[in-house]
Structure 1
Amino acid sequence: MRRTLQQALFCSLPALLWSSVRLYSGPTLKSYSRHIRRSSQALPPQTGGATRDYLAEYRYDSAEAAHTEKYLWPYVVSLCAELGARRVIDIGCGNGALCRELANRGYEVVGCEPSADGVRLARSAAPELVFHQIGVDDDPSQVGDESFDVVITTEVIEHLVRPRNLLRFAKKVLRPGGHLIISTPFHGYLKNLALALTNKWDSHLTPLWDGGHIKLWSHKTLSQLLKEGGFRLVRFIGAGRIPLLWKSMIMVAQKPEEPGQ
């Protein structure tokens, strides 16, 4: 069975690579590159000798949803309904756009974001919602221990120097049996190969992007991190583009009902 699957993948490789040429040379990537340039230009220069928390200084120029993340919303909304969520927290909520979408659908939503600019825009656009200026390296008890049914964090973990702190934060605020919905750009073998063969790495993962992606996650590495963090993987979803060349991956993981499980 395994050999048959490997043969099928090998035979389909040329078609997948040709698809990647079109995917990675089209308007989506050009638009993403413009997003990277704007994000880099938005960050102020570092002054003084102290180490700057670039996520806390990340600037947003609008309260509107970014096209680079909005394609994930249907998955998140569907999963929240499927999991029977009532109280939801968005870690790394940015300008609060997803929080507003979920609130409009009847969920009790709280947003956490280290960027002062993001929190300002979020509060301005939705003063009725609660937004905390807090990052994953801070004390999660500020937002309530074990008080949320679902934790959402979309396209955040790839920016973090200490990704385990994100899972620590999520586990602390989740009720026993609660769920974590986490997304990050997908980096499986075939996608990485396609990026290399089409010479698109500098557009996809540019060192010129201040505050950009610093960790690339595959199904294997993110699954391992979730397991280390005490979560049980429930579901994997590939999002965007075509199978094996997904734009992002979404994982749903559950906090144990009882300590030590």
Structure 2
Amino acid sequence: MSSTARTEPRPRPSGLRDFYENPSVPVASGDARSLRQARMLAAALGPASAGAATVLDVGCGDGTAARAAAPLLAGHRIIGVDWSQDALRRARRRLPYVVRADIGGGGLPFASGSVDAVLFSEVIEHLVDPDSALDELRRVLRPGGHLMLSTPNLAAWYNRALLLAGVQPVFSEVSLRGIYGRPGSEVVGHLRLATARALAELVRARGFEVVRVAGAPFHGVPRPLRALDRLACARPSLASLLLLHARRT
């Protein structure tokens, strides 16, 4: 977890949309988070034999996470949604249905109350206006529909130590062009981060009932620290990634 700056030249983005169209920007997360989140959703939805659900994977990226979750959501209809044309091109190889849409500016092309569940995995930290995005997700969800949201944890166990040492926390970024003052080797476009408490308060304010907040490990943690990172998941406020299950009121 060295904090050495890495400032190799990168193409200058004309805006966030161009940044996310860059094929070098990561669009997939680790399977550990995807599977934990899918188990939470499968338990909430129940078996498809009781009625197949429509699940939107908003910010599906290349479809890797949805493919990993698919066996746990067998029989339910998963629709991938993303802005990046490059990501959707790859997602089409893994998902039967994909739609291009921008949750951060223009809304989703789905009728109000038409969706049973939304996977919103590591998207909210990239948004300029997360309140409007949550409003849009609430619009398309049916009453009682499920929101499964995941995001990096600002208060992860190692971030607390890094801040005490005067080091920029993992996941946080001050530039779209390089790494400055924090561990890591990739610029991923994070605009905002939340603690478990702040995330729950935000989601409640947008008309959801928070059912559960859980933790998940981060695949980028150095190997010698991964056991500790898994242990931290028992305390979501310390975990690398936050998994939030909420229901539309």
Pick the TM interval, shorter chain: 0.7 to 0.9
What is the TM-score of this pair, normalised by structure 1? 0.70
Please name the residue that 2:162 is paired with. 195
Please name the residue that 1:133 is paired with. 100
Please name the residue that 2:33 is paired with. 72
Q: State the alpha-carbon separation in 2 of the partners of residues 193 and 93 from structure 1.
A: 30
Deviates more, 1:143-152 or 1:108-117: 143-152
Equivalent residues in 2 for 1:83-102, closer than 5 Å: 83-84=44-45, 86-102=53-69
CA 167–250 in structure 1, closer or farther in 2 if over 3 Å, else same: same
- Give 1:120's match in structure 2, choosing from 89, 99, 106: 89
Contact 1:102 1:109 in 2 (8 A): no
Give 1:100 deviation, angstroms: 2.5
CA 229–56 in structure 1, closer or farther in 2 if over 3 Å, else same: farther
1:176-197 deviations in whole A, cap 9, x for unaligned? 1111010111123865431223
Please name the residue that 1:246 is paired with. 239
Please name the residue that 1:15 is paired with. none
Q: CA RMSD in A?
A: 3.1
Q: State the alpha-carbon separation in 1 of the partners of residues 88 and 216 from structure 2.
A: 27
Structure 2 residue 179 is the aligned partner of structure 1 residue 220: no
Give 1:203 deviation, angstroms: 5.4
Give 1:164 deviation, angstroms: 0.9
Task: Kindly provide the amino acid, as one letter, of the partner of residue 162 in structure 1.
Answer: D
The residue matched to 1:237 in structure 2 has which SS? strand
Contact 2:113 2:139 in 1 (8 A): yes
Equivalent residues in 2 for 1:1-261, closer than 5 Å: 24=1, 41=10, 44-46=11-13, 52-54=15-17, 57-60=20-23, 66=28, 68-84=29-45, 86-104=53-71, 105-106=73-74, 107-123=76-92, 125-126=93-94, 129-136=96-103, 137-140=105-108, 142-188=109-155, 191-201=158-168, 204-210=171-177, 212-240=189-217, 241=229, 242=232, 243=235, 244-256=237-249
Task: Kindly provide the amino acid, as one letter, of the partner of residue 243 in structure 2.
Answer: I
Contact 1:69 1:155 in 2 (8 A): no
The residue matched to 2:45 in structure 1 has which SS? coil
How many residues align? The count is 214
Ranges in structure 2 where 5+ consecutive residues have no aligned partner: 47-52, 178-187, 218-228
Over the matched positions of the two proteins, sequence identity in percent amounts to: 28
* Structure number with bigger Rg: 1
Contact 2:214 2:244 in 1 (8 A): yes
Q: State the alpha-carbon separation in 2 of the partners of residues 205 and 158 from structure 1.
A: 9
The residue matched to 2:113 in structure 1 has which SS? coil
Please name the residue that 1:5 is paired with. none
CA 148–192 in structure 1, closer or farther in 2 if over 3 Å, else same: same
